[in-house]
Amino acid sequence: MSLVATLVSTPTAPAVDQELLVRAADTLGATEAPVVLSPGVAADIRFTGADARAAEQDLRSVIGSQPVDVFVQADGDRRKRLLIADMDSTMIRQECIDELAAELGLKERISEITERAMRGDIEFEPALQERVGLLEGLPVSAIGSVLSNRIQLMPGGRTLVQTMKANGAYCALVSGGFTHFTKAIANMIGFDENQANTLLEADGKLTGKVGQPILGRDAKRARLEFLAAEKGIAFEDTLAVGDGANDLAMIERAGTGVAYRAKPAVAEAADFRIDHGDLTALLYLQGYAEKDFVLS
């Protein structure tokens, strides 16, 4: 079977050097030279093999502690037609609800619940209701302040979305967070649509309630399935990325499910994991070279 191994490091600390590529190619028994996708950052190695997982483990042994991600998959057309992405700790660096809690001096308390929910130790829906309840009385105006002063886009996210859209893909931001944030983040990055939960408000303050039904793990998978059917896209041409337990259903359902700097259970279940690269790693995974990137 024709396979391709892609090695990726973060652009801010290139680690895919020639020495590593030679050792990796030798390990795989590759008969052709690696294809550099971005000097020092990413490269493809094509080879013949029967077991992609075994090849991945062999490469991880060669790489050792070097900050390099490894993807091994069937060679061919890897470009996806549908991207569905989580927001918190995936397309942005922060968890929005934790940053809202900071406005009330409750960040440590709420962050602990968030962490347990994202690990899958507790169910997402009741954990969300508990955390939102603690936000009761927070002025709605604080949301704008948090967006302006606390929220940072994850590196590579806009390039990922703009490049995929330029090549005909549809991109959806689907979050267990809140519409106040997804609308703004989707606009900044360029997503075609966004879905999230609704924080209820009255008299300019949060009520401590969230609109029903809550958008959780099943709703994320359902949106993936709906979009694939609506647009006539085969599941093998879909890509899902997230970091927490509420992303597991869509990651497992997608043709390619990716765990981005994720909790252990998510990384274990995903087809691929990104521990070092930024979000442009998802482009290299699809066979894009840096010269193909759409920067805007």
Question: Which residues have a catalytic role annotated?
Answer: 86, 88
Contact 282, 274 (CB under 8 A): yes
Q: Among candidates 207, 248, 258, which has minimal Cα distance to 83?
A: 258
Q: What span, in angstroms and rounded, lies between the C-alpha atoms of 286 and 260? A: 15
Strand partners, 70: 7
The percent of the chain in helix, strand and coil, each rounded to the nearest 5, is 40, 25, 35
Strand partners, 260: 274
b or e along 74-95 (b: 16 or more beta carbons within 10 Å of the residue's beta carbon)?
A: eeeebbbbbbbbbbbbbbbebb
Contact 257, 240 (CB under 8 A): yes
Q: What are phi and psi of 287, to 5 degrees?
A: 90, 5
Contact 274, 160 (CB under 8 A): no
